[in-house]
């Protein structure tokens, strides 16, 4: 509850989530050998009258791809990581489209730190136009 001090269990959970995130990023970075790395990378885009704003938890840039990493602390007891990945798909799609170099693929990883599970999305550079149409239709539903 708001205003309450965290319990020992809360603190232990936070440390475990952070440890999982660090281990996951270390593994991804060793596999990708990024040229550039950004933490809390802010992105803003306009689609017609709508504005999309977000922060990518970790962005890795390689010669052929952007790798977006987003940490999620959702408890997975009430739903599956597949269902949550589908829920977060518009967010990942927006982040993917906000990378301005459409000559690179985009890989997005949702890391569910509660269970240490990763859900991935992968878009190749020639899919960007259809991705933009998909995101535009999602924005139209909200407006």
**pLDDT reported for residue 141:** 63
Report the pLDDT value the prediction gives residue 142, as an integer from 0 to 100.
Answer: 61
* CA-CA-CA-CA torsion sign (116, 17, 25, 132): positive
Q: How far is CA 99 from the centre of its chain?
A: 13
Q: Whole-angstrom Cα distance, residue 92 to residue 63?
A: 20
pLDDT averaged over 10-residue windows placed end to end, the chain, 143 residues: 79 88 88 92 80 89 92 81 87 81 87 88 84 78 59
Where on the phi/psi map is residue 70: left (φ > 0), alpha (ψ -120 to 50), or beta? beta
DSSP secondary structure code for residue 125 in this structure: G
Question: According to the model, what pLDDT value does residue 125 have?
Answer: 78
Q: How many helices (H) and strands (E) does the chain have?
A: 3, 5
Report pLDDT for 35.
Answer: 94
Predicted model pTM: 0.81
pLDDT at 133: 82
- Which residues are bridge partners to 67 per DSSP? 60, 107
Residue from 51, 47, 89 nearest 72 by CA = 89
Q: How far apart are CA 1 and CA 94, in angstroms?
A: 32
């Amino acid at each position: 509850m708001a205003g309450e001090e965290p319990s020992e269990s809360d603190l232990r959970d936070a440390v475990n989530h952070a440890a999982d995130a660090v281990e996951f990023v270390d593994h991804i970075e060793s596999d990708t050998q990024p040229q550039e790395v950004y933490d809390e990378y802010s992105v803003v885009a306009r689609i017609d009258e709508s504005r999309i704003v977000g922060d990518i938890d970790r962005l890795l840039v390689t010669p052929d791809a952007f790798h977006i990493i987003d940490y999620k602390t959702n408890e997975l007891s009430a739903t599956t990581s597949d269902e949550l990945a589908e829920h977060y798909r518009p967010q990942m799609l927006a982040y993917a489209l906000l990378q301005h170099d459409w000559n690179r693929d985009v890989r997005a990883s949702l890391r569910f730190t509660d269970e240490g599970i990763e859900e991935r999305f992968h878009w190749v550079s020639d899919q960007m136009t259809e991705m933009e149409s998909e995101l535009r239709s999602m924005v139209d539903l909200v407006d």
